[in-house]
Structure 1
Amino acid sequence: MTKPALTRAALPPALQRALDLAVDAKAAAPVVLQLTDVAGYTDWALVVSGRSDRHVGGITEAIMAGLKDMQTTPIGTDGLEEHLWDLLDYDDFLIHVFYHPVRKHYDLESMWRDAPRAELGLPPEVMDTSTLEGLAPPVDMPPFRGGSFGAFPGELEDEEELAGAPGELPEGGDDEGEDLDEGEEGDVAEYDEPDDFADDEEGDYAYGDEDDEDDEDLAADDDAGEAVPAEAPPPARRK
């Protein structure tokens, strides 16, 4: 029997509010995916596009401020220093605010192709990305976000320490010679504090549509080559 299609009514109230805030900030092509049976570390993901890093920062700021009014704050953030891929972790749902060429590069919707997609009923002009297709990608793509989101405290450190630890010497074996390297801590994504966003200086933006009236100070990098998509590592799963 076919499951009924997901609609906005099925979304948590805070996620519905985040969607409205993103649309009000002129985010493009919002997509909401139900990840409960796909990712295992959260239930929902909202993915949206911005036309520049400045625009991405504005969308992120609007969402965080609006949800804070609902006494809802992220438990972790990533990427707020660049605004090429801002990731907000609200535990039950994640919000990915992309500079559009970065969204195309990582293509999370394809990675989560088996996740049910909510029917949002948004107007065509909100879903249209035709004006974003010619934007220059950043010279250096940001790293994959959220590889450690949703893990229990200490879970990843323990696993990575075991993975990098040397094997035990046999009883009576010679322990002289080269020192065995201790397992180093993994590169767990550092979370930005939510208040860090307020410290961003105007003018520290580099990518996007310089012809847009909101982005007139930006200069797109016309010489940037086409970025080669990289396969994203699977996020950690909760136990």
Structure 2
Amino acid sequence: MVIAVFTGVAGSGKSTLIASYYKWLKRRLITRVAVVNLDPGAEVLLYRPTLDIRGFFTLEDVMRKFRLGPNGAFIKAAELVAENIDKVLSKEPFSNLEEWDMVLVDTPGQLEAFILRPAGSKVLQELSKRGNTVVVYLIDSSVVENVADAITLWLLGFLVQVKLGLDVVPVLSKADLAKNVSALKSLVDKDADVSRLFDTLEAKGLVADLVPEFLHLVNKTRGAFRAVAVSAVREEGLEELHFLIHEAFCGCGDLT
């Protein structure tokens, strides 16, 4: 049984990809799959969650009760999930995990308010005790206009891995809307030398001095997992995504 936690910056397409991947799993593999929504601020979901944090509280509830704005409420909501994690995990699908092949977890778009804070880390660590857990980190292809964008989003995913201590697999979402194909291909192709991207980056001063170091770090942190490009709208790359998730727990190498 695999628990796949989907994360990424706001608007990267987590919920849409989960909905598309869920349908693909049910149609192609007849997999017993559950979806968990941990975003209390979600207004519309494209899937029917087995467990919905909004059944415990909504972002609006938190704002009203604690007199907070949206950002403060997301932080408080993460703390509330962590404080009540045993109660949350006592519900389906976690109360009966042997009945499921996969559990897909949708997280709030406010990455810094959930994943990168202590409360969010605690939630994911508790999830990891329930089964093989992997973090699917989405890089929004539609906002990568230049090499600097690609480097920044890639290294943010690396920081997520450092923070959580869990396997993080990179996914280039919204591939059908990609703006800078060459920069993204350098991330997808594990054998590509990303240091060559420096020649295409207009950098001066301190940035020019640091970028080569960043690119070297990108090369090192690509590690064993290649990035895959997916389009939830076109249902492209979902098979590659599925293999990538399972490679995290397989000693057999590249399953493709």
- Provide the TM-score with structure 1 as the length reference: 0.28
Over alpha carbons, which structure has the higher Rg?
1
Greater share of residues in helix:
2
